[in-house]
Structure 1
Amino acid sequence: MAERLLIVVNVDWFFISHRLPIALEAQRQGFEVHVAMGRSKEGLAMHEYPFKVHSYDWKRSRASILDEIRMFMDLYRLMRRIQPSILHLVTIRPVLFGGIAARIARLPSVVVAISGLGTTFVAKGVRGTLRRLVAGILYRFALKQRSLKVIFQNTEDQKILSGIASLRPDQCVLIRGSGVDLLAYGPRVRKSGRFTVLMASRLIREKGVQEFLEAATILSLRNVDCRFLLAGEIDPGNPNSLTKTDLEKIRRSVNVEYLGQLDNIANTILDSDVVVLPSYYGEGLPKILIEAAASGRAIITTDMPGCRDAIIPNESGILVPPRNAIALADSIQALIHDPARVRRFGRAGRKLAERDFDIRQVVASHLEIYRELSSDSAMSGMVDP
């Protein structure tokens, strides 16, 4: 009988962009794969995939206590019904509420993927302190499992959560990012033209969208000839998302070209000289940065957990302080005046991607974790109580 794997993700588009290759390979290797996810507004078609999909109307922001209870009950009922031998929880709310449900359902093995800690552990003030207190209690309870592996994308998140939840070193695994297809994102010499800077992300404030816009204005006032491209869309499920009014202002901007949401970002990366992400969000390891590295493009990002893990400072990219548009503008201008450095950064980034970010390595590492937990569960089942 096939091992039953249940993957839980907060929303369908995140599963497609960050976890689909893992589910497909698990299915190919004989697992019976189930995926539980929240439905996005677009309601992505999932029927073409060979695994069982369980789709729910989960709120991603401004969720009430009743919404949280509903998500918990959805997951608990599903776990009781399909009885997965391995549960893989991805993103914050599935980790917290799915972890608690797994304890009550007494599931044998749980994999937790920490793809960033969000804004909770960087928030300031009394409210931020209260959020950290509540989150800490939930994490401690959710991560107290019979058999557990916690996958981290950067060492800072591992340090924070290991301290909060008293994780043992043998329970922690570092896998740097969600991986990138090195063939789909291959380096190519850019055709001559205006120096082009790309930012691609969800359009939420903590991603540094305002700093990007301000940097474009600063360089325009300095009469620096540079083309700024912004790709992505607003995220209605996030309370800190830009609004439609904000988007209209960006569209009217003479300094930034707004591209909207792109189905294929690879060509846009290759048409750029530098990819920037001035994020001060609690990132895991931003996918756009590993895609840029694989494409042989120089990177400018912030000295924040996750972001700084995507580059080798001053070798494949530049780190700037968070919330600092002037430092961002200065770094962009420095690269405009040093094309040899831009090319050198790109070559180093590609080598880094080949070494650490290959999607094949990432998928293989996940399947190895599944097999280890499956073997441990089988051995424990053979031991007499």
Structure 2
Amino acid sequence: MSGDYKNMVTRPMKVLFFANTEWYLFNFRLALAKHLRKRGVEVVMISPPGPYGKKLEEEGFRWIPVPMARRSLNPLREAWLLWKLIRIYQTEKPDIVHHFTIKCVVYGGLAARLVGIKGIVGAVAGMGFVFASSSALATMLRPMVRVLLQLALGGKKCRLILQNPDDLNAFVSASIADPANVRLIPGSGVNTDRFSPILKSSASEGSKKVLLAARLLWEKGIAEYIEAAQQLKTLGYSVDFLLAGEPDMGNPNSVQQEQVETWKQAGIIKPVGHVVDMAELLKSIDIMVLPSFYREGVPRSLIEAAAAGLPIVTTDAPGCRDIVENGVNGFLVPVRDSNALAEALRKILEDPALASRMGEAGRSKALAEFDERLVFEKTVEVYRELVPKL
């Protein structure tokens, strides 16, 4: 038996994760990586440089920085990124590559196909700026990105993971992916032990607390949230409206920090910035809000809120309506309708029994559909379709 053959047989399975930020890998995919490691799989992480790369390494994973700029349209820079990925894939020789977000799916998929990787998985959480925005830049880029996605996701050894049926219909109708190779997995899952309800007294002192937690993009419904907060404050409601998250300088539709400060000075909201421990913050929250028209996948913040037993107010939009059943565990309101948002919040604020029933229903839904252990097993099933020995 040759040495090369022996190494091929005995070496552990290797899965390579590639995302557009190291923050995403740490916050949304670290638990999956740990699950795979427990099964004897080696997991290697790739992303642009950033402070969370060191945190990934502290968790015991190899992390490889790559020169990727999310907003870059420079052909030379993009070609250099593709070449770097090809070299990494040739060196690492992973059994499966798992790419997150559209740009990583495109570049990672092209590199993997050129190298001949056995299993290629693309995960897209929502349609993203190129497909969701009506701006001139997005409109210009859309045809090119569609063709690149078709190339990156072509072949029997490729799988595309989407988070909701609306995105599935969009990708199939645009002929981006073969429906036979698409799998629906609702989000990255949530640790339902860590995110769990706490008993709150209906007669507790102080203001009620409402939270919007998201990247600070206008499409997340930030303006509608501000308008609804102003309405309820004008009507005399004692409510603290919290805004968690930071501007996303990699997105042209980001809310500017100066605007957040203006709202704070006007007494409309209380910004809390980047939240390290969301589970702890949710213990003090009464209602979660996400008035998004972003074309979400399945919003992580709403899954966490449901697991924490909070009533939710969100929009009747893709991804959001996969978490909330209107009138059961929250309310669905029309997109860009601050009046409807304010009215839904008012109903919950005035009816503690309703809030409690909605929270209990949300917790049950999170346990049945969004527990991270369910997501891990569904992901492993996709891997096994491509590499049965896993």
TM-score (norm 2): 0.91
Aligned to 1:230: 243
Secondary structure of 1:301's match?
strand
Query: 2 CA distance for matches of 1:374 and 1:42?
Result: 30
Greater shift, 9-18 or 98-107, is seen at: 98-107
Amino acid at match of 1:135: V
% of aligned pairs identical? Answer: 34
For residues 93-104 of structure 1, what are the structure 2 equivalents within 5 Å?
93-104=103-114
* SS of match in other structure, 1:46: helix
The match for 2:7 is none
**Structure 1's 241 and 44: CA in aligned 2 closer, same or farther, altered over 3 A?**
farther
Q: Which residue of 2 aligns with 1:155?
A: 165
Matched, 1:342 2:352: no
Amino acid at match of 1:258: P
Task: Give the corresponding residue for 2:273.
Answer: 260
Q: Which amino acid aligns with 2:130?
A: T
Residue 322 (str. 1) matches residue 332 (str. 2): no
Q: CA RMSD in A?
A: 1.9
Give yes or no for contact 2:147–2:176 (8 Å, CA) kept in 1. no
Residue identity in the other structure for 1:45: K
The corresponding residue for 1:8 is: 18
* 1:176 correspondence with 2:186: yes
Q: Is the 8 A contact 2:162 2:184 kept in 1?
A: yes
Return the offset for 1:243: 1.9
Q: Secondary structure at the match of 1:45?
A: helix
Instruction: Specify the code of the residue in structure 1 equivalent to 2:367.
Output: E
Q: Distance in 2 between matches of 1:230 and 1:368?
A: 37
CA displacement at 1:315 relative to structure 2: 0.7
Which position in structure 1 is the counterpart of 2:3? none
- More moved, 366-375 vs 58-67: 58-67
Checking the alignment, whether the CA contact within 8 Å between 1:58 and 1:71 is kept in structure 2 is yes
Unaligned runs of 5+ in 2: 1-10
Greater mean alpha carbon deviation, residues 363-372 or residues 92-101: 363-372
Give, in whole Å, the separation in 2 of the partners of 1:90 and 1:128.
Answer: 19
Cα displacement (A) at 1:360: 1.0
Decide whether the 8 Å contact of 1:143 with 1:165 is kept in 2: no
Query: Is 1:276 matched up with 2:328?
Result: no
Q: 1:282 to 1:72 in 2, by over 3 A?
A: farther
Aligned 1:116-195 pairs, distance under 5 A: 116-124=126-134, 127-165=137-175, 167-191=177-201, 192-193=204-205, 194-195=207-208
Q: Deviations over 1:116-159 (max 9, x none)?
A: 11132232366544333222111111110341221111011111
Counterpart of 1:309 in structure 2 is 322
Structure 1 stretches of 5 or more lacking a match? 379-385
Query: After superposition, what is the alpha-carbon deviation per residue over 1:219-276, rounded to whole angstroms, capped at 9, x for unaligned?
Result: 1222222221111112222222222312321331312111121111112212111100
Rounded to whole Å, the distance in 1 between the matches of 2:52 and 2:265 is 26
Deviates more, 1:68-77 or 1:39-48: 39-48
- Measured in 1, the distance between the counterparts of 2:80 and 2:263 equals 37
Q: Give the Cα–Cα distance (whole angstroms) in 2 for the partners of residues 288 and 123 of structure 1.
A: 22
Aligned to 1:248: 261
For residues 139 and 50 of structure 1, do their structure 2 counterparts lie closer, same or farther at Cα, with a shift above 3 Å needed? same
Distance across 2 between alignment mates of 1:100 and 1:15: 21
CA distance in 2: counterparts of 1:342 and 1:286, whole angstroms: 21
1:204 corresponds, among 217, 220, 223, to 217
Return the match for 1:26 from 25, 32, 36.
36
Worse overlay, 234-243 or 178-187: 234-243
Shift of 1:44: 4.7
Question: Which residue is equivalent to 1:383?
Answer: none
TM-score, normalising length from structure 1? 0.92
Counterparts of 2:178 and 2:256, CA distance in 1: 42
Equivalent AA in structure 2 for residue 341 of structure 1: L
**What's the CA shift for 1:317?**
1.1
Secondary structure in structure 1 of the residue aligned to 2:71: coil
Partner amino acid for 1:339?
P
In the alignment, the residues of structure 1 paired with residue 135 and residue 248 of structure 2 have an alpha-carbon distance, to the nearest angstrom, of 25
Pick which of 177-186 and 243-252 moved more. Answer: 243-252
Which residue of structure 2 aligns with residue 84 of structure 1? 94
Partner Cα distance (1:5, 1:127) in 2: 34
d(CA) in 2 for partners of 1:321, 1:280: 9
Say if 2:383 is the partner of 1:370: yes
Give the count of matched residue pairs. Answer: 377
